[in-house]
């Protein structure tokens, strides 16, 4: 996965993979609705169902001078001209800007503004951008729009900050108040971690014009790819945490056993849990430091992330999922000591099913990262039952981009550290817990390992804050990985989430 850049990047991996694809005739694309035609959300679902009954046809791709520009050149092509955003004259608390095709974003999308029940086409207009005169040839070759962004005054009343971007395959991203972009999400993933991973595209968007004074915006999207088509509805509400309420209807073209629901991508280069190969002035470098999973039957689990030597997948089974997400828990500048990247301000992304998704598993893919521009982490929900041709899969869930999920009465892991044990080949782990329930008795730590040996656990209270440190030694197995599980318990039962670490 490639980097998530300033306004480029969320869909860069998919866009780059597609950049050399064969170019079909323009008529092969799903035709847009007529300009000013009546709009009905049910019509998006009907179009997705109809697409799935026909062979897949890829989009026509951008060629020519716009496709040949560099990253910096594309930024010149897409630098918005002040005052040209949509809805600046309506009193809306949301503004809309779009991006042209070019660079690695070669697949165009149809973009519509919906007002008074009618959909009007948003066309590319070079006057909306401050383009250098030297790029005239690139401007002339642009074939359409590659995505859009939304702006809202979530930090200062008169400043419209970017709060969401949809661009590249089915990628999008957002953030909460006083945050900067980090991880990204997708409409769907297919075969994530496999050599033949698919990247379906959002082919068209219908954006409802917000009412006077409204900060909430509704976006409808049509998805299409080789294996399925789909219709999405996003209700986006900016705030301390920006919330996306998502409804989706998916229509498979083939039986799909490797689908990923509510997928998210992030970056983890290194953290305090393992610095054996690190030569960097910073303490940690990551957009997310762990995966949190909550289930009705299994409580809460925290899995610190890693930058592994080889790619691997961890699977966390659930009969009834409460929520999951890649989170950034380290929230102090001193956790990173990076005055430019400001990783402490990156959002967590929490997924909550709306309704029962049934049995399945949260999958975590960790891949080697060359540097901090690599999105080497992915997480998603995979249902136990494959999706079948002719079946309509309906999904509803909430995405919260912010500080992370609210507490549930259990102690949480604040930090994980490890190093070589004194005078031994063992590893020493220390795990810091916060928000321990009050009036606990019989507090102790319990650790187990699937291979090798771990324990016993020592507990030490911090002298200056309400935290407790659990420390233990781990003897690695002679070969292969090991899963280590640590939790705090008391006389009344479990007191903390389960800390789960993958040793490799």
Does residue 364 fall inside a structural domain?
yes
- Residue closest to 371 by CA, chosen among 292, 440, 434, 278: 278
Whether 172 shows a pLDDT value over 70: the answer reads: yes
CATH number for position 212:
2.70.98.10
* DSSP result, 411-449: BEEEEEEEEEPTTSSSEEEEEEEE-PPSS--S-EEEEEE
Report the C-alpha gap between 252 and 160 in whole angstroms.
Answer: 39
Split at pLDDT 50, 70, 90, the class of 34 is: low
Q: Are residues 172 and 237 in the same domain?
A: yes
3-state class (DSSP) for residue 134? helix
Q: Are residues 246 and 220 in the same domain?
A: yes
Q: Are residues 233 and 328 in the same domain?
A: yes
CATH number for position 478:
2.60.40.10
Q: Render pLDDT for 332-379 as a digit per residue (tens, 0 to 9).
A: 999 999 999 999 999 999 999 999 999 999 999 999 999 999 999 999
Q: Are residues 158 and 107 in the same domain?
A: yes
Backbone angles phi, psi at 50, to 5 degrees: -70, -40
Q: Are residues 440 and 315 in the same domain?
A: no
Over residues 485-489, mean pLDDT: 97
Report the C-alpha gap between 145 and 89 in whole angstroms.
Answer: 23
Whether 415 shows a pLDDT value over 60: the answer reads: yes
Q: Would you state the pLDDT for residue 466?
A: 85
Over residues 461-471, mean pLDDT: 92
Cβ atoms 247, 233 nearer than 8 A: yes
Does residue 6 fall inside a structural domain?
no
Average pLDDT, the chain: 92
Report the C-alpha gap between 392 and 355 in whole angstroms.
Answer: 16
Does residue 280 fall inside a structural domain?
yes
Cis amide linkage into residue 414, ω under 30° from 0: no
Query: Which of 383, 402, 421 corresponds to the end of one domain?
Result: 402
Q: Would you state the pLDDT for residue 18?
A: 57
Q: Render pLDDT for 422-445 as a digit per residue (tens, 0 to 9).
A: 888 999 999 999 999 988 899 999
Split at pLDDT 50, 70, 90, the class of 276 is: confident
Whether 19 shows a pLDDT value over 90: the answer reads: no
Q: Are residues 380 and 423 in the same domain?
A: no
Report the C-alpha gap between 135 and 501 in whole angstroms.
Answer: 51
Q: Would you state the pLDDT for residue 17?
A: 54
Does residue 5 fall inside a structural domain?
no
Does residue 92 fall inside a structural domain?
yes
Over residues 144-154, mean pLDDT: 97
Whether 260 shows a pLDDT value over 90: the answer reads: yes
Whether 24 shows a pLDDT value over 50: the answer reads: no
Query: Which of 402, 422, 456 corresponds to the end of one domain?
Result: 402
Q: Would you state the pLDDT for residue 331?
A: 96
Whether 29 shows a pLDDT value over 80: the answer reads: no
Q: Are residues 416 and 396 in the same domain?
A: no
**Six token digits for residue 181:** 């972009």
Whether 10 shows a pLDDT value over 50: the answer reads: no
Q: Are residues 315 and 445 in the same domain?
A: no
Q: Would you state the pLDDT for residue 4?
A: 32
Q: Render pLDDT for 372-384 as a digit per residue (tens, 0 to 9).
A: 999 999 999 999 9
Report the C-alpha gap between 437 and 440 in whole angstroms.
Answer: 6
Split at pLDDT 50, 70, 90, the class of 448 is: very high
Q: Are residues 212 and 95 in the same domain?
A: yes
The total domain count for the chain is 2
Cβ atoms 342, 180 nearer than 8 A: yes
Q: Would you state the pLDDT for residue 258?
A: 96
Query: Which of 370, 402, 434 corresponds to the end of one domain?
Result: 402
% of the chain at pLDDT higher than 90: 84
Q: Are residues 334 and 482 in the same domain?
A: no
Q: Would you state the pLDDT for residue 15?
A: 62
Whether 7 shows a pLDDT value over 70: the answer reads: no
Does residue 2 fall inside a structural domain?
no
- Structural domain span for residue 154: 12-402
Q: Are residues 389 and 459 in the same domain?
A: no
Q: Are residues 31 and 138 in the same domain?
A: yes
């Amino acid at each position: 996965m490639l980097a998530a850049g300033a306004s480029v990047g969320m869909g860069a991996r998919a866009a780059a993979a597609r950049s050399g694809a064969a170019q079909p005739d323009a008529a092969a694309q799903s035709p847009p609705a007529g300009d000013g035609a009546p709009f009905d959300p049910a019509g998006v679902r009907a179009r997705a169902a109809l697409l799935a009954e026909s062979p897949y046809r890829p989009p026509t791709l951008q060629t020519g001078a716009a496709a040949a520009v560099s990253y910096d050149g594309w930024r010149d092509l897409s630098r918005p001209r002040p005052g040209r955003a949509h809805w600046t004259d309506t009193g809306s608390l949301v503004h809309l800007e779009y991006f042209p095709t070019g660079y690695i974003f070669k697949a165009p999308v149809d973009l519509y503004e919906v007002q008074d029940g009618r959909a009007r086409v948003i066309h590319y207009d070079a006057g909306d951008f401050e383009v250098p005169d030297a790029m005239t040839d690139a401007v002339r070759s642009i074939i359409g729009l590659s995505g859009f962004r939304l702006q809202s005054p979530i930090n200062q009343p008169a400043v419209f900050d970017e709060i969401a971007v949809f661009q590249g395959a089915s990628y999008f991203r957002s953030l909460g108040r006083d945050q900067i972009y980090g991880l990204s999400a997708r409409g769907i993933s297919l075969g994530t971690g496999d050599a033949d991973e698919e990247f379906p595209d959002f082919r068209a968007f219908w954006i409802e014009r917000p009412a006077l004074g409204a900060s909430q915006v509704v976006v409808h999207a049509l998805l299409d790819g080789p294996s399925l088509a789909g219709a999405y509805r996003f209700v986006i509400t900016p705030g301390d945490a920006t919330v996306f309420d998502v409804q989706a209807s998916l229509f498979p073209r083939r039986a799909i056993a490797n689908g990923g629901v509510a997928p998210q991508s992030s970056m983890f280069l290194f953290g305090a849990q393992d610095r054996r190969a690190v030569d960097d002035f910073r303490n940690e470098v990551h957009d997310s430091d762990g995966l949190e999973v909550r289930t009705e039957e299994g409580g809460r689990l925290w899995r610190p992330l890693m930058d592994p030597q080889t790619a691997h997948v961890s699977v966390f089974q659930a009969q009834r999922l409460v929520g999951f997400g890649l989170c950034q828990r380290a929230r102090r500048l001193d956790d990173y000591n990076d005055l430019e990247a400001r990783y402490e301000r990156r959002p967590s992304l929490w997924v909550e099913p709306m309704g029962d998704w049934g049995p399945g598993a949260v999958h975590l893919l960790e891949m080697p990262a060359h540097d901090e521009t690599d999105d080497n982490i992915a997480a998603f929900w995979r249902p136990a039952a494959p999706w079948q041709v002719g079946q309509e899969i309906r999904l509803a869930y909430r995405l919260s981009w912010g500080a992370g999920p609210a507490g549930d009465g259990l102690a949480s892991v604040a930090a994980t550290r490890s190093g070589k044990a004194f005078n031994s080949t063992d590893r020493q782990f220390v795990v810091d817990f916060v928000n321990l329930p009050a009036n606990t008795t019989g507090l102790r730590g319990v650790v187990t390992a699937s291979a090798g040996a771990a324990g016993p656990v020592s507990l030490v209270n911090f002298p200056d804050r309400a935290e407790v440190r659990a420390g233990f030694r781990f003897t690695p197995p002679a070969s292969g990985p090991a899963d280590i599980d640590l939790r705090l318990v008391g006389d009344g039962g479990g007191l903390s989430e389960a800390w789960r670490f993958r040793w490799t």
